[in-house]
Structure 1
Amino acid sequence: MTENKNQNPDLGPDLGLQKPKLVVLAAGGTGGHIFPAAALAESLCAQNIGVRLITDKRGQAFSVNGSTIETHRIAAGSPNYRGIGVFGKLWTVCKLGIGSIQSFLLMLKLKPDVVVGFGGYAAAPTIFAAWVLRAPIIIHEQNAILGRTNRLFSRFAKFIATSFQNTESLDLNQFRKAVFTGNPVRSDIARIGDDGYPPASTDGKIRILITGGSQGAHIFSYVIPKAIELLPQSLRDKLVISQQCREEDKAEAIAAYAKMKVQAEVATFFTDVGKRLSESHLVIMRAGASTVAELTAAGRPSILVPYAHALDNHQMINARALADKNAAWLMPQDAFQPEALAARLESYLTLPDTLIQTARAAKSLGVRDAAQRLTRLVIKTHGINRDLLKNKDPQDDYGDNVLGGLPNEQAA
C-alpha cells in the first residue's frame, strides 16, 4: 500500500478523456451512504457533469450550489434486519424485486455513463440494473471492511474505491480492482483540516463535541454526564460541551449539566456541526464511516465508542484503524463506564500535548480531496469503457497499469 500524502489530483484533462454527461449515484438511505454521495455530487457538478441519485424512502435529497439534485426513490429493505420474522423477510425480498424493476426502468430512461454505488441494500437494485444494461460500475466502500452489498456486487464493478488504505475481507479479484480514494466529506468539513487544531482559549476553556450517530446514543446521555461529575471541579469549570442526544434523554442531560454548573448545550440536532467540530478540542463519537472520515479530514482527537451491534462489526474495525495509528482512543461499549471515561478525560484534558499529537495523527490519515479523487476515477472509468466499446485496448492510452495513475491507490 502506498502512503496517503493528500495530493490534489487533476480531474481529467491530463487523461485526455471526454467527461461523462450523466452519473447515477446509488446509495442506501442512511447518512453513512448519503453523505459521501452528496460530497461526490458536489465535485461532479463542479466539473459540469450531470448527477442523479437513486435511494430509498429514507434518503434525503441534497442540494449543490442551491440546486437540488434530482432524486428517485425505489422500494428496498434489508433481509438481515433484526426482528422482522419470516414474513417480514419475504416482504423485504418482494420490495427488492419491485425496486429492481423500478431501477431497470429508470436506467433505461436515464442512460447514465457511469453508476457509482455507495452500499446499502437500496443500492443493490440499481447496481444490478446497471450490470444488466452494461453501464460501467464503481462501488465505493466507506468502512474498513467491505460491506455485504458491495461484497455481493463487487464482481460487476470495474473499480472498488476504498476509504481506508487497508480494507478487510477483499479477495484477490476485489483487491485487484481496489483503488484508495478516501471517503468524500463535505467541502466545509474538508476545510477544517486546513485551519489546524484550535489553540487553547485565552480563558482556558476546553470544548468537547459529543454526538451519537444520526439519532444520538442513549448510553452517551447516561455515561458522559456521570463521568463529567467525577472530574475535579477545577477541570469541570473549563469545559464547554456540545452534546447531541435523543429527545427522550434531552431533559435529563440538561438537568445533569445544570446541577454541576457545567457550560453545556444539549440538542437533538446541530445545524452548525461543522463549526462546532472546528472549535472542538476533543470529540466523543461512534465510529461510523462518515464520522471517521470527518474526524480525520478535520484532524481532531477523539474517543470512539463503536456501536456494539453494527453489521459485520464494522464500527469496531473502523475505530481500530485509527487507534492503531494513535489517531484516536478506542473504548468498547462494554468498557464505556463513567469511572473509566472520567479517568481518560482527566488524563487527556490535562495533557494538551497529547491532544495535539493525536490531532496530528488523525489529520495524517485524512483525505480531504477524496471527492476529487473519486471524480477522477469516474472520468477515467468512463474513458476506459468508451475504449472497450470501440474495441480499443485501454492500455493504448493508459499503459500497462490500467488501474494506475490515480494518487495513493491500493496497488494490486
Structure 2
Amino acid sequence: MSDGIKALPKLILLSAGGTGGHLFPADALAQDLISRGYRVALATDIRGKRFEPFAGGIPVYVLNSGTIGAGIMKKIKSAFSLGMGFFQARKLLADLKPAVVVGFGGYPSVPGIYAAQTMKIPTIIHEQNAVLGRANVFLAPKAEKIAVAWAHIEGLDNADENRAIVTGNPVRSDIAGLYNKPYPTIEQDGPLRIFITGGSQGASVFSEIMPEALARLPAHHRERLDIVQQCREEDVERVKSIYDAAKIKSDLRPFFKDMALQLERCHLFIGRSGAGTVSEVTTAGRPAIFVPYPHHADQQQKRNADAVADAGGAWVMTQNGFTPEALLARLETFLQNPETLFRAAENARSCGRPDAARKLGNIVMAIASGWDKHPQG
C-alpha cells in the first residue's frame, strides 16, 4: 500500500430473502457491523429492494431468484432464475470482494451464499426458525458457521451441529431495549392492553375472530379493554364498527411502524408466530397467544410457538381452534386472574435474546479477521 492511501474497511455482504422475517434480522446485524466500522451491503430480490431504508441506506443489490413451487414448469422456471442469480452473484462478489457473506434464509439468499462457497469466500448462515429452512439445508454443509435462534433446531445433521452456534434472532435496537423494562402493572379493574397483528400479510382471521370474541365479554370486562390491532385496509371500518358498538376502545391500522412502543405498552400479544415476531415478543417479555400460520410444509411457525409455550411464555391455538368461544374463555381467565399473565411474561422474557445481533456480529468479525476458527459468539 503506497504512502497516504488508507485501506477501506472490510466489506460484509448480507444475503437474504425479501420479506421482513429475513430482512429484519439482517438489518439488525448490519447496524451492529456498521457500528464496528465495517462496510455492509445487501443482496436480495426485488421485494427486498422496496424494504424501507436498510441500515441507514447501505447498497442493495438485486439478484434473480425463485421459490421452488409445485408443478414441473414452475420448478424449471425457478431453477433457471436461481441459476441466473448464481452467475449474477459471482460477478457481484468479484466486484465487491467481501470478507464474509452472511445468509439469512429464503431462496433469494441461495445465489449469493452458494456463489461465495464456490469462490472460497467464507460464509455464515443464520436460521431464524426452530426448524432449518430448505434454503439453509442446502447451504449448511459448506458454511463456516451456522448461527441459530434456538438451542434445539430440527433439520441439522450431526456434521452441521458441530458448526452451529446459538445466537438468537437479531432484533432492532429499539426492541432490544425493551428487555430490561418491567412488565406493565395490571391494576384491579384497570385497563388490559392487547396488541394484535396478522403478520406480514395482515391475516384476516384475526379481523374475523377478535371482534366477535371481545364483543361477547360482559360489559364490565369490555370497558377495561384497550385494543391495538393490525387489520387489512378493507377490514378496518367493519372491525371498528363492531368494537365501537361494544364500547371497546380500539386503534386499528393496516401497519404499525412503532412496534417497540406497542409491545412496551401492551399486556398481551396475539398474532402469528413467525420467527421475527416471536423474537420481538420474547425480547420484550410479553405473554402471547400465538396462532401459527397453518400452511407451511415444515410447520415452522408452530415449532417457533411451541418453543415459547414449552417455556411457559405463550399459549398456542391452531387456526381451526382459534374460535370466538375458545378465545373468549382464554381472555376471561386473564381478566379474572392477571397473575397468569405476569408469570407468562417472565417465562417469555427467558426466551428472549436481546444481544443476538452482537453475538452474530462477533462471529462475523472473528471469521472476517481470521482471529478464531471456532468463534462462540
Determine the C-alpha separation between the residues in 2 that align with 1:309 and 1:353: 34
CA contact (8 A) 2:363 2:375 kept: no
State the 1:203 CA deviation: 7.5
Determine the C-alpha separation between the residues in 1 that align with 2:315 and 2:76: 41
Deviates more, 1:357-366 or 1:196-205: 196-205
Determine the C-alpha separation between the residues in 1 that align with 2:342 and 2:9: 43
Determine the C-alpha separation between the residues in 1 that align with 2:148 and 2:100: 17
Question: What CA RMSD, in Å, does the superposition of the two structures yield over aligned residues?
Answer: 1.8
Determine the C-alpha separation between the residues in 2 that align with 1:405 and 1:225: 47
Change in 2 beyond 3 A, CA 1:302/1:146: same
Match of 1:255 in 2: 241
Determine the C-alpha separation between the residues in 2 that align with 1:216 and 1:102: 33
Match for residue 274 of structure 2 among 288, 307, 315: 288
Q: How many residues align?
A: 370
CA contact (8 A) 2:273 2:304 kept: yes
Determine the C-alpha separation between the residues in 2 that align with 1:405 and 1:218: 42
1:69 equivalent in alignment to 2:47: no
Match of 1:372 in 2: 358
Give 1:352's aligned amino acid: P
Match of 2:25 in 1: 36
Determine the C-alpha separation between the residues in 2 that align with 1:131 and 1:69: 23
Match for residue 225 of structure 1 among 201, 211, 223: 211
Deviates more, 1:343-352 or 1:133-142: 343-352
State the 1:76 CA deviation: 1.0
1:47 equivalent in alignment to 2:36: yes
Listed as ranges, the matches of 1:7-406 within 5 Å are 21-59=10-48, 60-63=50-53, 67-80=56-69, 85-200=71-186, 204-384=190-370, 403=374, 405-406=376-377
State the 1:86 CA deviation: 3.2
Structure possessing the higher relative contact order (Cα contacts under 8 Å, 6 or more residues apart):
1
Change in 2 beyond 3 A, CA 1:97/1:405: closer
Determine the C-alpha separation between the residues in 1 that align with 2:237 and 2:302: 30
CA contact (8 A) 2:240 2:252 kept: yes
CA contact (8 A) 2:170 2:354 kept: yes
CA contact (8 A) 2:363 2:376 kept: no
Change in 2 beyond 3 A, CA 1:348/1:244: same
CA contact (8 A) 1:20 1:113 kept: no
Determine the C-alpha separation between the residues in 2 that align with 1:106 and 1:148: 24
State the 1:351 CA deviation: 1.4
CA contact (8 A) 2:150 2:166 kept: yes
State the 1:201 CA deviation: 5.5
Determine the C-alpha separation between the residues in 2 that align with 1:137 and 1:235: 53
Query: Aligned residues: percent identity?
Result: 45
Change in 2 beyond 3 A, CA 1:48/1:377: same
TM-score, normalised relative to structure 2: 0.94
CA contact (8 A) 2:165 2:376 kept: no
Give 1:229's aligned amino acid: A
State the 1:404 CA deviation: 5.6
State the 1:206 CA deviation: 1.0
Give 2:89's aligned amino acid: S
State the 1:327 CA deviation: 1.0
Give 1:152's aligned amino acid: F
SS in structure 2 of the partner of residue 194 of structure 1:
coil
Give 2:79's aligned amino acid: V
TM-score, normalised relative to structure 1: 0.86
SS in structure 2 of the partner of residue 93 of structure 1:
helix
Determine the C-alpha separation between the residues in 1 that align with 2:241 and 2:124: 49
Deviates more, 1:129-138 or 1:200-209: 200-209
State the 1:278 CA deviation: 0.5
Determine the C-alpha separation between the residues in 2 that align with 1:239 and 1:181: 37
CA contact (8 A) 2:286 2:345 kept: yes
Determine the C-alpha separation between the residues in 2 that align with 1:103 and 1:292: 31
**Unaligned stretches of 5+ residues in structure 1:** 1-18, 385-396, 407-412
